[in-house]
Each structure stands twice: as structure tokens, then as C-alpha cells.
Amino acid sequence: MKKYFLPTLTAAVLTACAPTAKTPTTTPTATTTAPAAQPAAPDWQEQAETFLKEYSTEYQRLYAQSSEAEWRSNTHIVAGDTANSGATARANERMAAFTGSAANIQRLRELLEHKQDLTELQVKQLQTALYNAANSPQTIAEVVKRRIKAETQQTEKLYGFDYKYQGKSVTTNDLDELLRKEKNPAKRQQIWEASKAIGPTLKEGLLNLRDLRNQTVQALGYPDYFSYQASDYGMSREEMMTLVRKINEELRPLYRELHTYARYELAKKYNVKQVPDYLPASWLPNRWGQDWSAMVDVKGLNLDPVLAKKGAEWQVKQAERFYQSLGFPALPASFYEKSSLYPLPKGATYKKNNHASAWHMDLNQDVRSLMSVEGNTEWYETTHHELGHIYYYLTYANSEVPVLLRQGANRGYHEAMGSLMGLAATQKPFLAGLGLVDPKSQTDQTQTLLKEALNYAVFIPFASGVMSEWENSFYADKLPADQLNARWWALAKQYQGIVPPTTRGEQYLDPATKTHINDDPAQYYDYALSYVILFQLHDHIAKKILKQDPHATNYYGSKEVGQFLADIMRPGASKDWRTVLKEKTGEDLSARAMVEYFEPLMAYLKQQNKGRKYTM
């Protein structure tokens, strides 16, 4: 392990003294002493720059090695094979040893004591490095090593699980498709329960990780891992929870209408005479009830038949063409050579992570995506979303942004960019321009808006409510091991109005079936904040740039839209996220635009729900 220290600048600490004149022996005269020269003040900016240059070079090298190992662990999972997990653990240990080294922590703190003498950009880099150090402080090296090993093992369990339905192995894509289409409530319950079978296998590992993650960040003064993640926004845990609760409250009236509508419409669909007060989780077209949009098929906007014919590869290439039409460059050739974009072939002897993700491998031009694209509407939107991350990476990987600040303005910005492009790519004028729908076809605008609300608005109580509250309880409040599932379902009932189809005791661990709980912990509020940001950006683009109705836009080919987005992307994390939002949209973070977008739907829902029982 090589530790990096700033070389001692001796010139900064030497003092120069003029010699004292000797007194002559013959004639007693007054002696004179030259005034002592003042010590030269340390040049803290120069010292910080020297340290950051050396630190960033090593950081980028180790980051790339860690990314490669993680990529292999996520794309080639073989049951019983420990080679990948061992290589990943070693790469992550090297990264942890460097970022969390006691010498680096000491030097970072020393330099930050003089932040008034440093540039704003230097301070941001040093603070980022210290934040990274808290994730792996070598003052507790053994704990960090155990955590890395535990996280690698949890990932392999998570993505190596063999899901079974009706005695046959199935993928999560298969289960999702069945939940979208099956109409028999009994079969739906079997499908849903099959999707939750992985939970108990992850319980021991997750509890172990809770302790290790908390211990890791506590070494640098954070009270718990949730507080640590929230601090990346410049906010305390309490401030973050206040913010996400406010967002949830602002969207609550709309969600209440959607919840009532869904209970009655799904009871009708499944031929259930007694409408339940709360939605059985197995009734919904998503494993966690976070997206109900499959409930609605908008006539003239059913893309599945068209996309099935065009195939998976067309969707990825078309998403790239969309970004190019806005003025962004073609993707590097290595993106297609090194990414894992499509489902594994039948009979493959290994598995891969089935959750879509975008990777910035070297904090420069090596960008990749891990997906399992198929020819359907869900993957059409997802490809546009994931390429939003990719183009964000490429845009801030420029000479003006230091390596340590090559990330989103905040974590939510990354998701906002991806989700914004997913929304834009599904609006009718956009689809008509691509020939995916007939521009002359009559489409019901209310049904279109309903479908969007069942996606975006329904997501908020899951992300800002269930996920954020559960992880806050888990990490900060030390939720007891015998209350994990009970707390999850209490929150689902409170925020989503969803209940399990049958009693789910503590022998299950349904929260762990959500991948983020395991491998992207204590930051799911990123997604809730991203939806708020995306509607603020979309509102500005539609009204101020395109001069179009926010419900019917076409970004395609607009270089002005591309410039607006690139201006947000280009600084990465080198500018404060609040400043970026205020400068580009003229307002602070607010759910105003999202609430306003769905206002036309409220009258329709209230009419549909007239005489129905509200339970939220």
C-alpha cells in the first residue's frame, strides 16, 4: 500500500536571520542588530494543489481498477465461483486503503483548517475526499475489510438467486411481465410471492452490513450511515427527512385520488365484488407497488407491438440518436464493445445483475451500461434514462472539472437527467416524429396523463415514504431484527395504502427484495428528489425554450434544449446544486411544477371517485 503525503516545503518554515555585528575591543560603541526577517507565510493554495494533484491521480487509477472488478462481479455470476468476489474484494480494499488512509485524512483535515486561504474549487475537492474517507477509514481497517467482503457476498446472493415459478426457473423480467398481464388474483399472488422468495436469503447479510456500515462512518464522526449519505447534500438526516416528507405531503392529494381509483378499477378487473380498503400488493403491476402505469393502455400509444418488431438493439441506438439530435456527440465505440446491454442467451452458464445501471468506469471516457433490453415500452423508456446518465458522465468529464468532482450536482440530479429524457421520449409529439405512433391517431389526453401519474406520482410515496423511512429507521434508529418486515408493511400501508396479500411475518424480509436496500443503501430519496427536479426542468424547457404544452412536447432536434441540459451537466459537482437549479429554472427545489403538471387530472379522478370510499 502506497500512502501519499505532501512533500514538506522547507522554504515555508525556514527563518532567515542577519548576523549580529561584533563589538570592537578598542572603542566601545553601540552595537546594532539587523531586524530578524519574518517567517514566510505558508502558501496553502499551492500546498493544496500539490496534494490534490497526487491524490486525484492515484484515486482515478484505483477507482478504475475497482470499477472493472465490480463490473465483472455484476456481469458474470457463477454459483460457487469465488474468483470474481475475491478479485472485487481485493480491488475495493486497495481503494479503501487509499481513500481512508490515516495520512490522507490527517492531511485533508489540516488543509481544510485553512479553507479561508484556499479557492472554492480546492475546498470542494478536499471536502469530497474527506467524505469519501468516511466510507472506508483505515483507522478501523479491519472493519472496512469485513464490510467490503460482506458487500461483495451480498451482491452475489442478490443477483445469483434462482427465482422459481410453477416449478421452473424464471428471471425478474419474466415475473414483471406476468404481473403486468395476469388477471387471476390467485395466480398473481403466487407470482408476487415468487418474487419475494429471495428476501430470507439476504437477512443475515443485511443485518451484518447495517452494523459494518454504521461503524465505518462513525469513525469519522457521523452518527450513522443514513446521516452520512444525507450529508452529501449538505443536509442533516433530520433536514433530509423533513424535505422528503414535505414532498410526499405536497403530492398526497393526488395520490389519494389515484389510490381510490386503483382500488375500484382493479377490483373490477379481477372480478372481486368487495373492494378492499387497502390495495393488496399482489394486485399491482409492480413488485413493490412503485409504478402502476401498466394499469392503463392509451389507445394510439401502445408501443409494445411496434417496439417488439424493431427489437432491443434499435432501442439503444435510437436513444443515442435522440441525444445526438440535441447536439451531444456519438457514444464512444467502447460503449458498445464493453457494455452488457441485452439478456443473457438461453442456456448461459452464468447470471448477471438484472437491474439497469450506468457505469463511469474511469471517471473519463470509459462509460458502460448494464441492462437487459427487450423490445417493449418499459425498456424503451429505460434506455433513454440510462443514456441520460452516460451523457452526464461524458459531459462533466472535461478538463475544467477535477476528477474528484466528476459526479452529479447532487445524486438526485443524475436520476433527474435520466428520468427527464425518459419522460420526453414517451410524449406523443416525440413518438409521432419517430413514426412510432400515427400523428393522426386520436389519443385520450386524460388517459395519457393518468398513465403518467400512475408512474411518476405513485412513485413518490414509495421513494420518499416507505424506502426513506424504513432505511432511516434501519440505520439511524437501529430497527430491531425482529421488526424489519413489520416496519416495512406498516410504512407501505401508511404511505402507499398497500398491504400484503397474506400475513408476512419476520421469517420474510420483503424490503431486502429491493436491490437498493442491499447495494445502494440509505439514499433512495435521491429518486424522489430527482422526480421533483425533472418536472422543474421539464416545465422550464416546455414553457421557456420550446414554447410548448408540458404535456405534449418534442425535444427531438432542439439544440437549445441540448445546450440547456449540457450547461447543467458540464460543471458536475463543482457548483452548488441549489445554485445550479436556481440559475437554470429561476426557482428553488419545489414540487410546484409536478403538482401543476397533474392538475388537469384531478377533476377527472374526483369525478371517477364520486361516491367511492376513500381510505387514505
pLDDT of residue 173: 87
What percent of the chain is modeled with pLDDT above 70?
93
Its domain, for residue 140, covers 44-161
Give the orientation angle of helix 377-396 with respect to helix 411-424, to 10 degrees: 130
Task: Give a yes or no: residue 421 inside a domain.
Answer: yes
122 and 250 share one domain: no
128 and 263 share one domain: no
pLDDT of residue 369: 98
Q: Are 324 and 559 in contact (CB under 8 A)?
A: no
Rg (CA), the chain: 28
Task: Give a yes or no: residue 433 inside a domain.
Answer: yes
445 and 589 share one domain: yes
CB count in 10 Å sphere of residue 611: 6
Alpha carbon separation from 237 to 93, 138, 227, 472, 475 (Å, rounded): 28, 25, 5, 8, 11
Q: What would the grid cell of residue 74 be?
A: 455484476
CB-based contacts of 117, cutoff 8 Å, min separation 6: 44, 45
Q: Give the CB-side neighbour count of residue 512, counting CA atoms within 13 A.
A: 26
Residue ending a domain, among 116, 137, 161, is 161
Residue ending a domain, among 161, 188, 212, is 161
Q: What would the grid cell of residue 193 be?
A: 410471492
DSSP summary character for residue 613? P
The number of residues making up the chain comes to 616
159 annotated as a binding-site residue: no
Q: Are 183 and 270 in contact (CB under 8 A)?
A: yes
127 and 257 share one domain: no
Single-letter amino acid code for the residue at 548: Q
Q: Which of 423, 416, 413, 357 is nearest to 390 (CA)?
A: 357
pLDDT of residue 393: 98
423 and 515 share one domain: yes
CATH code, 302: 1.10.1370.30
Q: Which of 91, 131, 101 is nearest to 3 (CA)?
A: 101
Which residues are catalytically annotated?
386, 516
Q: Give the separation between CA 349 and CA 365, rounded to whole angstroms.
A: 31
pLDDT of residue 188: 97
pLDDT digits (tens, 9 = 90+) for 345-404: 988 999 998 889 999 999 999 999 999 999 999 899 999 999 999 999 999 999 999 999
pLDDT of residue 101: 96
Q: Give the separation between CA 370 and CA 360, rounded to whole angstroms.
A: 11
pLDDT of residue 361: 98
When divided into structural domains, the chain yields a total of 2
137 and 263 share one domain: no
pLDDT of residue 300: 79
Instruction: Let me know the angle formed at the C-alpha of 366 by 363 and 370, rounded to the nearest 5 degrees.
Output: 105
Residue ending a domain, among 161, 178, 195, is 161
Q: Which of 458, 528, 418 is nearest to 290 (CA)?
A: 458
Q: Are 538 and 423 in contact (CB under 8 A)?
A: yes
Task: Give a yes or no: residue 24 inside a domain.
Answer: no
Q: Which residues of the chain have pLDDT under 70?
A: 1-41
- φ, ψ (nearest 5 deg) of residue 406: -85, 75
137 and 261 share one domain: no
Q: Are 407 and 573 in contact (CB under 8 A)?
A: yes
149 and 256 share one domain: no
Q: Which of 503, 534, 616, 13 is nearest to 256 (CA)?
A: 616
Task: Give a yes or no: residue 344 inside a domain.
Answer: yes
Q: Are 437 and 301 in contact (CB under 8 A)?
A: yes
276 and 386 share one domain: yes
- Mind giving me the DSSP string for 433-492? HTTSS-TTS---HHHHHHHHHHHHHHHHIIIIIIIHHHHHHHHTS---GGGHHHHHHHHI
146 and 249 share one domain: no
531 annotated as a binding-site residue: no
- Cβ burial of 157 (10 Å; 0-12, 13-18, 19+) is middle
Q: Give the separation between CA 616 and CA 601, rounded to whole angstroms.
A: 18
457 and 554 share one domain: yes
Q: Are 412 and 229 in contact (CB under 8 A)?
A: no
Task: Give a yes or no: residue 436 inside a domain.
Answer: yes
CB-based contacts of 300, cutoff 8 Å, min separation 6: 428, 437, 438, 441, 442, 443
344 and 476 share one domain: yes
Task: Give a yes or no: residue 450 inside a domain.
Answer: yes
Q: What would the grid cell of residue 138 be?
A: 483505515
CB-based contacts of 455, cutoff 8 Å, min separation 6: 291, 292, 293
54 annotated as a binding-site residue: no
Task: Give a yes or no: residue 22 inside a domain.
Answer: no
Alpha carbon separation from 74 to 199, 352, 362 (Å, rounded): 19, 6, 17
Task: Give a yes or no: residue 550 inside a domain.
Answer: yes
Q: What would the grid cell of residue 50 be?
A: 500539490
527 annotated as a binding-site residue: no
